[in-house]
Amino acid sequence: MSTWVLIFIAAAGCLFILKMVYVLSVAVVLPFTRGALYVSTSQRRIAAFLDAVPLQPGQVVIDLGCGDGRVLRRVRRRYGARAIGYEMNPVAYIKARLLCLCTDGVNVRLRNFWKADLSTADVIFCYLFPDVMRELSGKLRRELKPGTTVVSCNFKLPQWLPAKVLRPGNSLHNDPIYIYIA
């Protein structure tokens, strides 16, 4: 066999193995995520959120299901806020840790946010499924201090009244970003 054929077979094999690792990592956390997959938040949506919710250096932003940590990195770079992310998908967690290695003030945790104390947050950011939002609504009401901002992409927090609804122009479906004040 030629060298090129062997290189192609090796590359295809590596890609297949990586895809299987991703599928396994999704399957492992499926009971907790209730079907939500790791999908990156668009840069346009992050910029809209950051424009609408000004922060001060040292404030705490918590991203529930932080994926690759892009929200955390942008919050830290733009405002100097402390950024904490919770992620359960091992592949997304490893990617976030690697991408956040050189960013001081960003802490990515391989942990279920349902077991985390969110009371230190000044801002909560989430991009979760509607059935998760129902349960999250109660957790946030119990744990957040008055004045904490909650930002939810696409899906409303049941029994909360949004202070503002953003619709970033030119996003794929012009999906809303809901901003709440606890």
CATH number of 43-181: 3.40.50.150
169 or 71: whose pLDDT is higher? 71
The crossing angle, in degrees rounded to 10, of helices 70-79 and 43-52 is 40
Site of tokens 């992310």: 85
pLDDT(20) > 90: no
pLDDT(38) > 80: no
pLDDT(150) > 70: yes
Over residues 48-61, the pLDDT tens digits come to 999 999 999 999 99
pLDDT > 70: what percent of the chain? 83
Over residues 74-107, the pLDDT tens digits come to 999 999 999 999 998 888 899 999 999 988 999 9
How far, rounded to the nearest angstrom, does the alpha carbon of residue 98 sit from its chain's CA centroid?
15
Could you state, in order of their start, the residue ranges of all structural domains in the chain?
A: 43-181
Instruction: Please report which residue ranges of 34-172 form alpha helices under DSSP H.
Output: 43-52, 70-79, 90-99, 130-143
